Amino acid sequence: MKIEASSLSFSYGMGKVLDSISFSAQDGQAIAVLGPNGVGKTTFFRCLLGFLKPSEGSVIVDGRNVNDYTRRELAHKLAYIPQSYSPAFNHTVLDSVLMGTTASMGLFQSPGKPQIDRAMAALDSLGIGKLAHRPSLKISGGERQLMLIARALVQDARILIMDEPAANLDFGNSFHVSSRIRNLANKGYTVIFSTHDPGQAYRYANRVVCMQGGRIIGDGKADEVLDEAMLNSLYGVKTAVRSIEVNGRSYKVCLPI
Amino acid sequence: MKGREKYRLRFIILALSAVAIFLLSFFLGRYKVGFSAVIKILLDRLLRLISLDSWSMQQSWTAAEASVVASIRLPRIGCAALVGCALSVAGACYQGMFRNPMVSPDILGASTGSGFGAALSILLGFSYAATAVTSFASGLAAVLVAWLISRKSRMQTSVAMVLSGVMVGSLFQSGTSFIKLVADTESQLPAITYYLMGYLSSVKAIDFRLAVVPILIGFVPLFLLRWRINLLTVSEAEARSMGVETGRLRFIVIMCATLMTSASVSISGMIGWVGLVIPHFCRILFGNDYRRLIPSCALLGASFLMLVDDLARIVATSEIPLGILTSFVGAPVFILMILRGGSGHED
């Protein structure tokens, strides 16, 4: 399923946040969106999700303008995974995942056995099936992020948009969640995620989009786009990028100096 | 599943207690009526109701007994159950909608609006039924004004709604104070004061009939949409991305909860705390899932207010207004909630 933004611009009042962005993504891509704070990443995502109406240009999802879909139709195309989950009430993990099935049910329908089976399968596929009956606010941050991914999976959308999925996670959880993201892309999902860690982009993304001043200034394979010069101009910090070999595989690391 | 069976058992116990409290309530009060007379009179009423007066039981009770059970206690107990149920369900739904467990049905001005309407009708000397209708309409008007103001605001929807609700509520509150100031101190002022404290001692069958329709019109959609109300408790962006038209759903929930609140206040006056405390208890007993929360709030709310009304009847020689009794129960519970951290965590 294809998602495409063509000369997308957006402004809040006078200030232009997005300046004619053109971008398109296809199945199997894990796209890391990088850029300093306030560069328009969140606004860009909100436009992709159809929450904001662009002032110029358009977002086309599966051949149709994103703003022409009903929320229910769009839920079968796009899923959104927020940076943090803060519900007003502490639902169980299973109930939280079941919320993802809402778009596939009738208006007055409640989840029954088929929905519960799907939710359990999604939780199991992410290795957190045993947490199903725990309160969602009493599991670890990494587990909660996996729960949100499970919720996106039962929604049956093929394009997953994630706002800094690993930002609040510790070292280990960040690794677990990020590898799941890459797995999803390998299974054919389109995953678009923002991150502040260039290391994650090298490691888990097969494409990198660099944003600055509301524009895309670099788009392509991480190894090609995300070099020392790019990191320097993105973050204003002199950075060294090196490859290290571990067990015959080469990994890229970057270091501010 | 273990959890589900636990909830099912609790729900059955709750339903049985509601029926038991309903029946028990007929025996409490100054005029004593025997067990068999109560049961027979109730069965007789039920038969007449379902057969449209063509069947009835053979009369083995006195006219006084019939009058106490069917004309005084039945409407009163029925209204207590109805109001308790309506306020609790409305409270639970407002809480979900505003993503805040401390919210009560007063939040958008529904009850202060209804209180103002009733005070105004008493001042103008309206008939009994007209007072109820005016009060109901004024509650709806208050919420509608609050909602329209929030629509015009550029702030986040729920913040704007709470702020305009508080503002409209306090405006109606001042209106009520003004009416009390100019009301006749011999007859009108006591009537208004008594009304605002919440009472069920003078309800008649017509009150039940007036309130049951709007309360059902509010309850049925909320019951049918109970799964979707869960999605209003996560962030707006998440709910929309999962396919929920949040604006529309929120409007339906507000309108239904307001119908129920205004209809309740119009027959019983302002009974506080029920809409705050009962949903909280239900969250502890049944979790935060609205699939269970709505039916359990309906039953627990009804049982609670029937019990409080029983208490009002038997504790003192002159009746204590319900609003006072419910706050005696509600305030300590609220303090407990604050000390425990406020949110209804599951187990």
Across the A/B interface, how many CB contacts are shorter than 8 Å?
104
Q: Tell me which chain B residues have a C-beta less than 8 angstroms from the C-beta of A66.
A: none
When pLDDT is averaged across residues B174-178 and rounded to a whole number, the result is 96
Residue type, B120: L
**CATH topology for the A3-77+157-256 domain:** Rossmann fold (3.40.50)
Residue type, A163: D
User: What pLDDT is attached to residue B344?
Assistant: 44
Cβ neighbours of residue B121 closer than 8 Å, sequence gap 6 or more: B130, B131, B134, B135
Pairing, β A3-12 against β A249-256:
unpaired
CB contact under 8 A, A89 and B96: yes
CB contact under 8 A, B228 and A102: yes
The domain spans of chain A are 3-77+157-256, 85-155
Map chain A to HEC letters.
CCEEEEEEEEEECCEEEEEEEEEEECCCCEEEEECCCCCCHHHHHHHHCCCCCCCEEEEEECCEEHHHCCHHHHHCCEEEECCCCCCCCCCEHHHHHHHHHHHHCCCCCCCCHHHHHHHHHHHHHCCCHHHCCCEHHHCCHHHHHHHHHHHHHHCCCCEEEECCCCCCCCHHHHHHHHHHHHHHHHCCCEEEEECCCHHHHHHHCCEEEEEECCEEEEEECHHHHCCHHHHHHHHCCCEEEEEEEECCEEEEEEEEC
Q: Tell me which chain B residues have a C-beta less than 8 angstroms from the C-beta of A86.
A: 235
CB contact under 8 A, B3 and A133: yes
CB B286 within 8 A of CB B233: no
User: B343 CB near a chain A CB, below 8 Å?
Assistant: yes
Which two three-digit tokens encode residue A239? 């950075």
Is the predicted pLDDT of residue A11 greater than 80, yes or no?
yes
CB contact under 8 A, A80 and B237: yes
Is the predicted pLDDT of residue B347 greater than 50, yes or no?
no
At residue A225 the predicted structure's pLDDT band, cuts being 50, 70 and 90, is very high
Residue with tokens 């396919």: B243
CB contact under 8 A, B240 and A110: no
User: What pLDDT is attached to residue B341?
Assistant: 59
User: What pLDDT is attached to residue A34?
Assistant: 95
Q: Tell me which chain B residues have a C-beta less than 8 angstroms from the C-beta of A85.
A: 234, 238
The domain spans of chain B are 2-30+62-340
Residue pLDDT, tens place only, A205-222: 999 999 999 999 999 998
Question: How many whole angstroms separate alpha carbon A235 and alpha carbon A229?
Answer: 10
Which of B6, B238, B246 is most worth mutating to test chain A (most A CB atoms within 10 A of its CB)? B238
Weakest-pLDDT range from A242-251, B48-57, B274-283: B48-57
Interface of B with A in 263-322 (CB under 8 A): 283, 287-289, 291
Nearest C-alpha in B relative to A84: B235
Across the interface, which of A46, A91, A99 has its CB nearest the CB of B242? A99
User: What pLDDT is attached to residue B346?
Assistant: 42
At residue A27 the predicted structure's pLDDT band, cuts being 50, 70 and 90, is very high
Q: Tell me which chain B residues have a C-beta less than 8 angstroms from the C-beta of A95.
A: 230, 289
Residue pLDDT, tens place only, B45-63: 888 888 887 887 788 888 8
When pLDDT is averaged across residues A115-139 and rounded to a whole number, the result is 95
Q: Rounded to whole angstroms, what are the CA distances from B237 to B82, B121, B225, B346?
A: 36, 44, 19, 25
Which of B102, B220, B241, B291 is most worth mutating to test chain A (most A CB atoms within 10 A of its CB)? B241
CB contact under 8 A, A110 and B237: no
**CATH topology for the B2-30+62-340 domain:** ABC transporter involved in vitamin B12 uptake, BtuC (1.10.3470)
How is the beta sheet containing A190-194 ordered, strand by strand?
Answer: A78-81, A159-162, A190-194, A30-34, A207-212, A215-220
Is the predicted pLDDT of residue B259 greater than 80, yes or no?
yes
At residue B2 the predicted structure's pLDDT band, cuts being 50, 70 and 90, is low
CB contact under 8 A, A88 and B227: no
Q: Give the minimum alpha-carbon distance from A252 to chain B in angstroms, rounded to a whole number.
A: 34
**In A, what residues contact B, Cβ < 8 A?**
46, 49, 51, 70-76, 78-80, 82, 85-92, 95-96, 99-100, 102-103, 105, 107-111, 133, 135, 137, 151, 155
User: What pLDDT is attached to residue A99?
Assistant: 97
CB contact under 8 A, A71 and B344: no
CB contact under 8 A, A87 and B233: yes
Burial of A211 (C-beta count, 10 Å sphere; 0-12/13-18/19+): buried
Which two three-digit tokens encode residue A47? 């436009």
Which two three-digit tokens encode residue B339? 């000390």
Q: In this predicted complex, what is the ipTM?
A: 0.92
Picking from B104, B109, B74, the residue whose alpha carbon sits closest to that of residue B88 is B104
Which of A89, A137, A139 is most worth mutating to test chain B (most B CB atoms within 10 A of its CB)? A89
User: What pLDDT is attached to residue B335?
Assistant: 82
At residue B144 the predicted structure's pLDDT band, cuts being 50, 70 and 90, is very high
Question: How many whole angstroms separate alpha carbon B138 and alpha carbon B326?
Answer: 24
| Percent of chain B's residues with pLDDT above 90 | 55
CB contact under 8 A, A89 and B226: no
Cβ neighbours of residue B58 closer than 8 Å, sequence gap 6 or more: none
CB contact under 8 A, A92 and B346: yes
